[in-house]
């Protein structure tokens, strides 16, 4: 976002919030507490709005606000900026298009909408001389989008990797201390980090939407979330942290993208991360992004990736940039081929009914597809009828190791599908 001459400074900017949940109510309270000059919150829209107006999160907001459950009260009003904190694509896309066409700027925290419809909405905003800003959509309170758009635009970013989902990070960093998946999921749900249906987080859909937004900002490439493979963390068990530790690593849900030979290599899923990497240092709901630029090298961003207040800070900062005259940058976005293929060492964990010859059968399958074993780990003390052990490979293509997993899965000694995780290295 470039700075243009400030909009009429004497004019009050009227603001509406769509969605008075965790983030929307925190935005309203932040505006109340900070009393930014020239900004007036005039409308709050939510379904069943009365319970919101009289609820604890509305305390102190003042009598001048129009609380409504009719979206047209906002769309037809003289509001200057709409802050959207509802989420999802339908019906929000239509409402925000109508808002832009009727001359309203839009600030949103909605990653799914921006990942799938951001380019179209940005075009519409430019055509109407309005601004669409969405810095809260990725990494919550960590300003990684404005940093890549502005602070790093002079570089050529060739790699992005990091933790973009606080819920998974909370769960995996708790599993690091011995807890099992089902127990930490319950904890995450009780703490309000995970939804009753946790799929968007644990199956990687949330992180890959954010990765696509980041790829657009940092690599000027439009990619669809549907083209990015997402692997679930549901199959990670406490034993994987023990083996990871022996390998000097831990396990985190990683979103990564690399621009190589004019192709975007992108993937989201649980991966082994060396303990020496800054990515391994993030605990709880923290987010972290490492960008690698051809000229400037690595830059690390970290902080609160979620939560009402950190996200509200990002939204209100976007609002202030609009008020101060920000104009949309027309990014020279291009389309490039996308693949989930990486060349990396891999971690394969098997649960087998132990019998002689298993290791040589696995080794044979790996050799057949062209992958080499780097190490074999087997912790003592497990029953022979459900024995977990691990093989790591030397760097090989994702598709190669997946081929080996398909062969190995067919072996009658395998009690479940082998777990296959990409391993990050110190160079990543
Ligand atoms: N929470 C975070 O930490 C965080 C961080 C970054 C970005 N975001 C993004 O911010 C947005 C909001 O997240 P949130 O955590 O604040 O969600 P939330 O607590 O569920 O709030 C959403 C609000 O929108 C209302 N709503 C939902 N559908 C509606 C509809 N069709 N019409 C009218 N009102 C509707 C909900 O009302 P009900 O009370 O009736 O359900 C609720 O008050 C999402 O796009 C999310 O991805 C959230």
Q: How many domains does the chain have?
A: 3
Separation of alpha carbons 163 and 292, rounded Å: 15
pLDDT tens digits, one per residue of 43-54: 999 999 999 999
- The answer to whether residue 309 is domain-embedded is no
Q: Where are the beta strands (DSSP E) in 19-92?
A: 39-45, 66-68, 81-84
Residue nearest to atom 30 of ligand 1 (CA): 47
- CA angle (143, 147, 151) in 5-degree steps: 155
Distances (CA, A) of 422 to 186, 346, 372, 392, 426: 27, 5, 15, 10, 13
Is there a contact between 290 and 427 (Cβ–Cβ < 8 Å)?
no
What is the domain extent for residue 119? Answer: 2-137
- Whole-number Å distance, alpha carbon 109 to ligand 1 midpoint, is 9
- Whole-number Å distance, alpha carbon 24 to ligand 1 midpoint, is 7
Looking at 52, 104, 111, 210, which residue is catalytic? Answer: 210
Residues 85 and 40 in one domain: yes
- Chain centroid to CA 198: how far? 14
Is there a contact between 355 and 410 (Cβ–Cβ < 8 Å)?
no
Separation of alpha carbons 222 and 85, rounded Å: 24
- Whole-number Å distance, alpha carbon 48 to ligand 1 midpoint, is 13
Residues 125 and 149 in one domain: no
% of the chain beyond a pLDDT of 90 = 87
Nearest ligand 1 atom to alpha carbon 140: 6
- Whole-number Å distance, alpha carbon 28 to ligand 1 midpoint, is 14
Tokens linked to 114: 């921006």
319, exposed or middle or buried, with CB in 10 Å at 0-12, 13-18, 19+?
Answer: buried
Tokens linked to 277: 């990497």
CB-based contacts of 376, cutoff 8 Å, min separation 6? 359, 389, 390, 391
- Known active-site residue 210: yes
Distances (CA, A) of 23 to 83, 115, 235, 244, 304: 10, 19, 31, 36, 14
- Which of 191, 188, 190 has the alpha carbon at shortest distance from 200? 188
Residues 91 and 148 in one domain: no
Q: Return the pLDDT at 185.
A: 96
State if residue 247 touches ligand 1 by the CB under 6 angstroms criterion.
Answer: no
State if residue 90 touches ligand 1 by the CB under 6 angstroms criterion.
Answer: no
Mean pLDDT for each 10-residue chunk of the chain (428 residues)? 46 96 97 95 98 97 95 98 97 98 98 96 95 95 93 95 96 94 94 89 98 96 96 97 97 97 97 94 92 96 92 97 84 88 97 91 96 94 91 97 96 95 89
Q: Where are the beta strands (DSSP E) in 23-80?
A: 39-45, 66-68
R_g of the chain, CA atoms, integer Å: 24
Nearest ligand 1 atom to alpha carbon 24: 16
pTM confidence score: 0.94
Q: Return the pLDDT at 283.
A: 87
Residues 15 and 129 in one domain: yes
- The answer to whether residue 38 is domain-embedded is yes
State if residue 230 touches ligand 1 by the CB under 6 angstroms criterion.
Answer: no
CATH of the domain at 22: 3.40.50.720
CATH of the domain at 410: 3.30.70.260
Place of tokens 């919550």: 140
Q: Return the pLDDT at 2.
A: 43
Mean pLDDT (the chain) is 94
- Whole-number Å distance, alpha carbon 195 to ligand 1 midpoint, is 12
| Mutation pick for ligand 1 pocket among 16, 20, 23, 28 (CB with most ligand atoms within 8 Å) | 23
């Amino acid at each position: 976002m470039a700075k243009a001459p400030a909009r009429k400074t004497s004019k009050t900017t009227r603001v509406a919030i769509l969605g008075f949940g965790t983030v929307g109510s925190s935005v309203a309270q932040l505006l109340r507490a900070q009393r930014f000059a020239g900004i007036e919150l005039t409308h709050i829209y939510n379904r069943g709005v009365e319970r919101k107006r009289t609820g604890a999160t509305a305390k102190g907001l003042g009598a001048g606000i129009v609380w409504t459950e009719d979206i047209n009260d906002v769309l037809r009003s003289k509001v200057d900026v709409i802050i959207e904190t509802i989420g999802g694509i339908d019906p929000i896309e239509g409402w925000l298009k109508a808002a832009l066409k009727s001359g309203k700027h839009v600030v949103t925290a909605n990653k799914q909408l921006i990942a799938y419809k951001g380019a179209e909405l940005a075009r519409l905003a430019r055509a109407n001389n309005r601004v669409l800003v969405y810095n809260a959509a990725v990494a919550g309170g960590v300003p990684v989008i404005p940093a890549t758009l502005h602070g790093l635009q002079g570089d050529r970013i060739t790699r992005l990797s990091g933790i973009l989902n606080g819920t998974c990070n909370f769960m995996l960093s708790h599993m690091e201390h011995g807890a099992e998946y089902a127990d930490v999921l319950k904890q995450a749900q009780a703490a309000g980090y995970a939804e009753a249906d946790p799929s968007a987080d644990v199956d990687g859909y949330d992180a890959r939407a954010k990765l696509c937004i980041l790829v657009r900002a940092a690599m000027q490439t439009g990619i669809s979330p549907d083209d990015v493979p997402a692997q679930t963390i549901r199959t990670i068990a406490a034993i994987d942290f023990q083996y990871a530790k022996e390998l000097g690593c831990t396990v985190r849900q990683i979103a990564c993208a690399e621009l190589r030979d004019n192709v975007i290599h992108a993937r989201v899923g649980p991966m082994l991360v060396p303990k020496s990497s800054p990515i391994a240092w993030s605990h709880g709901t923290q987010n972290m992004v490492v960008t690698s630029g051809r000229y400037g090298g690595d830059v690390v961003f970290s902080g609160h990736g979620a939560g009402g207040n950190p996200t509200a800070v990002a939204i209100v900062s976007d609002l202030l940039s609009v008020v101060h005259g920000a104009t949309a940058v027309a990014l020279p976005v291009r389309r490039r081929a996308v693949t989930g293929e990486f060349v990396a060492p891999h971690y394969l964990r098997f649960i087998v009914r132990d019998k002689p010859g298993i290791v040589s059968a696995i080794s044979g399958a790996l050799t057949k597809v062209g992958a080499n074993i780097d190490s074999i780990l087997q912790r003592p003390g497990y029953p022979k009828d459900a024995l977990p052990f691990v093989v790591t490979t030397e760097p090989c293509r994702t598709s190669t190791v997946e081929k080996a997993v398909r062969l190995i899965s067919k072996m009658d000694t395998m009690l479940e599908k082998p777990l296959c995780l990409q391993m990050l290295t110190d160079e990543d």
